[in-house]
Amino acid sequence: MSKTLQKASLFFLNSYTKPQTLALTPAPDKPKKARELNAVDRLFREHWRDVCRVLHACYGSGPPEPEDVAQEAFSRFAQLRNLEKIDDPKAYIIKIAMNITLKSISRLCKTRAFIDEHIQHTQEQCDEMSPETILQAEQRIAAIQKGTEQLSEKQREILMRARIKGQTYTQISTDTGWSVADICRQLNAAMALLESIDEQANNTCHQMPATDASSSNFSSEQK
């Protein structure tokens, strides 16, 4: 970097653009794009405060700051294609924001990196959400959703604190008064129920219309 550049008021030396940058981005459908950007802008004005408030209440004041996370979540949302296919944009933005925040919790990142290192992921398990991955995983999400509705209040509370709030068992114990051993048991039971429902849904999908008797093996073992 030359000294001249330090003193320059404002200029650019390099206007080179990577060839693949241009090639990768086809000319957008402008009216549709403009409509979508307007819709995102409206969502931003309507839900910005709410998203920040939710993040603040669940994860504290940071770092990362809830406002920064919300900004990032809205930005990522705006970059998605086929926005009109998303039924509840606010819920979707909150999901993106939750994932961004959880990715900034060092302990969880280390665990995730450790697991990633030793198992091979399928595409549908990808953490980065897009309409494509959401649609692919729609059935699984519906099954897990159904499963969470069948959990007891206590199991759901523990599961969400561990998975969504990213709390350790000790932190959950401090906040709720339940013992670590009990938390451990409840979480295992909750996961077993979710897995059994996920498995049932998966078997139903692959073997329709015949019902596979073995699909209920795991759930019956839990009883």
Minimum CB distance to another protein smaller for 79 or for 82: 79
Looking at the Cβ atoms of 14 and 208, the one nearer to another protein is 14
CA distance 97 to 95: 5
Torsion of Cα atoms, 39 then 45 then 51 then 56, to 10° = 160
Residue 153 contacts another protein per CB under 8 A: no
Where does residue 13 rank: exposed (0-12), middle (13-18), buried (19+ CB within 10 A)?
exposed
Q: Is 32 in the site for another protein (CB under 8 A)?
A: no
Q: Alpha helix (H) ranges present in 60-88? A: 66-79
Q: What is the DSSP letter of 165?
A: S
Is 41 among the residues that bind another protein (CB under 8 A)? yes
Closer CB to another protein, 157 or 211, in the complex: 157
Distances (CA, A) of 124 to 40, 43, 120, 138, 146: 26, 28, 12, 10, 19
Under the binding rule (CB under 8 A), the answer on residue 86 touching another protein is no
Structure token digits, residue 16:
């080179």
Query: 39, 86, 136, 148: which one contacts another protein (CB under 8 A)?
Result: 148
145 binds another protein (CB under 8 A): yes
* Cis peptide bond upstream of 26, omega within 30: no
- Should residue 169 be labelled a site residue for another protein when binding is judged by CB under 8 A? yes
Distance of CA 138 to the CA centre of its chain: 13
Q: Which residue in 43, 83, 194, 201 binds another protein (CB under 8 A)?
A: 194
Per CB under 8 A, 188 contacts another protein: yes
Touching another protein, residues 108-127 (CB under 8 A): 108-111, 113-115, 118-122, 124-125, 127
Contacting another protein within 48-77 (CB under 8 A): 48, 53-54, 57-58, 62-65, 68, 71, 74-75
Of residues 178, 192, 204, 216, which one binds another protein by CB under 8 A? 192
Burial class for 216, CB neighbours closer than 10 Å (0-12, 13-18, 19+): middle
Radius of gyration of the chain (CA): 22
Q: Binding to another protein (CB under 8 A): which residues in 12-31?
A: 12-18, 21-22, 24-25
Q: Which of 47, 66, 167, 201 binds another protein (CB under 8 A)?
A: 167
